[in-house]
């Protein structure tokens, strides 16, 4: 993880007992991502806490995820507090690596090169 983060990787790890309480569910795992994005890292630093976020699936199904700030505002603006307009992001998802069960399993090969 030290070699891969910050970067386009999501690591699935065993969750502490606190995670299910925070989200009101019984999840035993949590996905951790530290993007190589200065805006996100500054927001996290200023808040002093990690962010709980999700991707926005594109409604027209041309691409899997939308990264257009205006389209996100139009699609889900009434469900969220704000959209930070930092321009278009990449429309390629992160690579997802499951580190639970004592072994590494590649769940999804995305933009992050698999080097381990």
Mean pLDDT of all residues in the chain? 87
Residue spans of the domains in the chain: they are 1-55+93-116, 56-92
Which CATH fold would you assign to the domain 1-55+93-116?
A: DHBP synthase (3.90.870)
Exposure pattern of 41-69 as b/e (b: 16+ CB <10 Å)?
A: eeeeeeeeeeeeeeebebeeeeeeebbbe
Confidence of residue 12 (pLDDT cuts 50, 70, 90): very high
CA distance 78 to 27: 27
pLDDT digits (tens, 9 = 90+) for 54-75: 788 777 767 777 888 998 898 8
CA distance 114 to 111: 9
Q: CB neighbours (10 Å) of residue 77?
A: 12
Give percent of the chain with pLDDT exceeding 90: 38
């Amino acid at each position: 993880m030290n070699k891969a983060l910050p970067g386009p990787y999501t690591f699935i790890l065993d969750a502490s007992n606190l995670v299910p309480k925070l989200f009101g569910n019984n999840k035993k795992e949590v996905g951790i991502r530290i993007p190589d994005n200065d805006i996100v890292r500054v927001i996290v630093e200023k808040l002093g806490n990690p962010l709980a976020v999700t991707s926005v699936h594109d409604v027209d199904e041309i691409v899997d995820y939308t990264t257009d700030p205006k389209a996100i505002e139009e699609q889900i603006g009434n469900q969220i507090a704000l959209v930070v307009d930092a321009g278009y992001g990449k429309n390629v998802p992160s690579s997802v690596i499951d580190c639970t069960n004592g072994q590494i399993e590649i769940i999804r090969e995305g933009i992050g090169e698999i080097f381990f």
